[in-house]
Amino acid sequence: MKVSSYFQRIHFIFEQTKRYNPKEVLTLRHIVMMMVSFVSVSIFISCNITNKVNYEYISNTKSDTLTLDKINEIITAIEEVHPNIYADVGKNSIDSAINAVVIRNEGVLLNNADFTLEVRSVLDLLHYADPHLVYYPNIQLRPGDYNPRKYAKRIPRFPFDLFNINDSLIIKTSYAEPLQKGDQILEINGHKAEDFAKYTYSEWRSVGGNIIQMQSQLVYDELFNIKINRKGKEQEVIVKPIPYAKWTGERLYQSKLIHEYKTGYTKILKFSSNTTILKNLKKGIVAAKENGYENYIIDIRGNPGGTGYKLEKILSLLSPKDSLLYMESQIVKVSPRSVNDYDFLKNHKIGELVQLPDSLIIKHIPLQEDLYQGDMNYFVLIDKSTGSTAASFANIIQNNNIGLLVGEPLAHNALMFGDVTKVSKYQNMIVSTMQYNEYTRSKDRQVYPDIYIPYVAKEFIQEHDPILRKTLEYIQHPKENNLMK
């Protein structure tokens, strides 16, 4: 299981034990691990509300200190399980960053969010090497005779999801009038947008309102006074929070025909319920072909991953090949956690790096010939927050010449690590336990688009989806558009 930044971007791992049919894409073990990781993080990101929130239970008290011993404990916890955390940064650089943050915070009391942010001034150097590595705060509640977990789940969420473009927060989806898609958030209850943006990870192009709220823990009020920029005009609106139980979010998948450009389109927000995604994508491709369309867009921007279950069937829709080149090798660090997953590691010492035997690696993805839907020009939309399973999907498409990637490069080392575990050290942490070496087109194993379209904040304020519009214009008039990388 390979999970990318912050909320587990789960990378599909093909069969890694002889107990299962080698044609199965995801083992039972990895399905269970995926579910455990998802549930553990859902405690953080979900706010299932059935009753009115009592705000007196929510606290933002500065009650913790950050010491050298605490940071060293956090670093040691990472080193114990991560196979190559210093892939792109030397330990000396980490030690220097640790000394700086300890000196800066000597004797300073911090709340959960700021404790996390200060630790991240060190860990973000490692996050660049592995975008799966994420450190995030517990919800801070007042002490008392009540169940903290119960009240943590009652916290209402901001009534919107966002685009994060160079720290400009632009509404992607609104769940409360009069907020609209394209509104730029300037302030919320007196806190400027940059106050919220600094708590999130800059490469997350799409971020849920509840995520940015929980990371910053700045606003829990019963009303949100929001200052926005709507197409160049500033205004203030007052909205109520929404209970998570009433929040539906975007559909995980949707297909449509864009007749003006004679193009089919499927949005996959997350690789979840892949059986339904398979049916939905197949239906969309069939409809496009019946209309005589030759171009099809698969949009996985902001897709954090999910499960790899039946992903080989989804890929079978797109390619007539017998199999697709996928994984070259995998490396795991021997630890008490990994020994429980792989029996052969019991013969190795704790801390040792071990390459998985070829019998446990799926080097080629087997396809089903009967699922292939015929020739089509495929364009896959990606961005920096396309991760894990989605990142691998994009890489497989490009490396096997199935279609063109459109958008911006994936996060650095988006393909390289995964199979995460949750570690609790003062706050919460997600750490990779496996290093992957996928076959890629580029020598540095990074994923770059074939057609580069950057994110520009002012464009998202003026129109709903400039990336999609530019992609469609390229499809319609490829020779007139200078978008090729």
C-alpha closest to that of 460 among 452, 469, 447: 469
CATH number of the domain that residue 176 is part of: 2.30.42.10
Q: Are residues 259 and 285 in the same domain?
A: yes
Give the pLDDT confidence score for residue 146 in this predicted structure.
Answer: 52
Domain final residue, candidates 242, 269, 288: 242
Give the pLDDT confidence score for residue 271 in this predicted structure.
Answer: 93
Give the pLDDT confidence score for residue 142 in this predicted structure.
Answer: 66
Beta strand residue intervals within 133-277, DSSP E: 134-136, 160-165, 168-174, 184-188, 191-192, 206-208, 224-230, 233-239, 253-258, 263-268
Residue 325 belongs to some domain of the structure? yes
Q: Do 295 and 260 meet the contact criterion of CB atoms below 8 Å apart? A: no
Residue 7 belongs to some domain of the structure? yes
Q: Do 165 and 457 meet the contact criterion of CB atoms below 8 Å apart? A: yes
Residue 146 belongs to some domain of the structure? no
Region of 256 (left: φ > 0; alpha: ψ -120 to 50; beta: rest) is beta
Q: Are residues 318 and 262 in the same domain?
A: yes
Tell me the two tokens of residue 48.
């299932």
Residue 144 belongs to some domain of the structure? no
Residue 301's SS3 state is coil
Instruction: Output the CA–CA distances (angstroms, integers) from residue 406 to 164, 317, 372, in the order listed.
Output: 19, 20, 23
pTM score: 0.85
What single string gives the DSSP state of each residue in 350-391?
A: TT-EEEPPGGG---EEE--GGG-----EEEEEE-TT--THHH
Q: Are residues 230 and 257 in the same domain?
A: no
C-alpha closest to that of 284 among 150, 378, 154: 378
Q: Are residues 361 and 265 in the same domain?
A: yes
Q: How far apart are CA 221 and CA 22, in angstroms?
A: 53
Beta bridge partners of 263: 258, 295
Q: Are residues 129 and 173 in the same domain?
A: no
Domain count for the chain, please give it: 2
Q: How far apart are CA 4 and CA 385, in angstroms?
A: 9
CATH number of the domain that residue 289 is part of: 3.90.226.10
Q: Do 217 and 195 meet the contact criterion of CB atoms below 8 Å apart? A: no
Q: Do 394 and 382 meet the contact criterion of CB atoms below 8 Å apart? A: yes
Tell me the two tokens of residue 230.
């709507």
Q: Are residues 209 and 356 in the same domain?
A: no
Q: Are residues 477 and 363 in the same domain?
A: yes
Give the pLDDT confidence score for residue 139 in this predicted structure.
Answer: 81
Domain final residue, candidates 215, 242, 269: 242
Residue 360 belongs to some domain of the structure? yes
Q: Are residues 304 and 430 in the same domain?
A: yes
Task: From first to last of the 485 residues of the chain, give the pLDDT tens digit.
Answer: 443 333 333 333 333 333 333 333 443 334 334 443 443 444 343 333 333 444 555 667 888 999 999 999 999 999 999 999 998 899 999 999 999 999 999 999 999 999 999 999 999 999 999 999 999 998 876 666 556 556 555 667 899 999 999 989 999 999 999 999 999 999 999 999 999 999 999 889 989 898 998 899 998 788 999 999 999 999 999 999 887 655 555 666 789 999 999 999 999 999 988 999 999 999 999 999 999 999 999 999 999 988 889 999 999 999 999 999 999 999 999 998 888 888 899 899 999 999 999 999 999 999 999 999 999 999 999 999 999 999 999 999 999 999 999 999 999 999 999 888 899 999 999 999 999 999 999 988 899 999 999 999 999 999 989 999 999 999 998 866 665 54
Q: Are residues 222 and 329 in the same domain?
A: no
Q: Are residues 118 and 207 in the same domain?
A: no
Residue 120 belongs to some domain of the structure? yes
C-alpha closest to that of 135 among 455, 464, 476, 426: 426
Q: Are residues 405 and 261 in the same domain?
A: yes
Amino acid at 127: H
What secondary structure letter does DSSP report for 187? E
**Domain carrying residue 354:** 1-135+249-485
Q: Do 11 and 392 meet the contact criterion of CB atoms below 8 Å apart? A: yes
Domain final residue, candidates 242, 273, 288: 242
Instruction: Output the CA–CA distances (angstroms, integers) from residue 116 to 122, 134, 442, in the order listed.
Output: 10, 10, 35
Q: Are residues 162 and 310 in the same domain?
A: no
Residue 143 belongs to some domain of the structure? no
Residue 140 belongs to some domain of the structure? no
Number of Cβ atoms within 10 Å of the Cβ of 187? 17
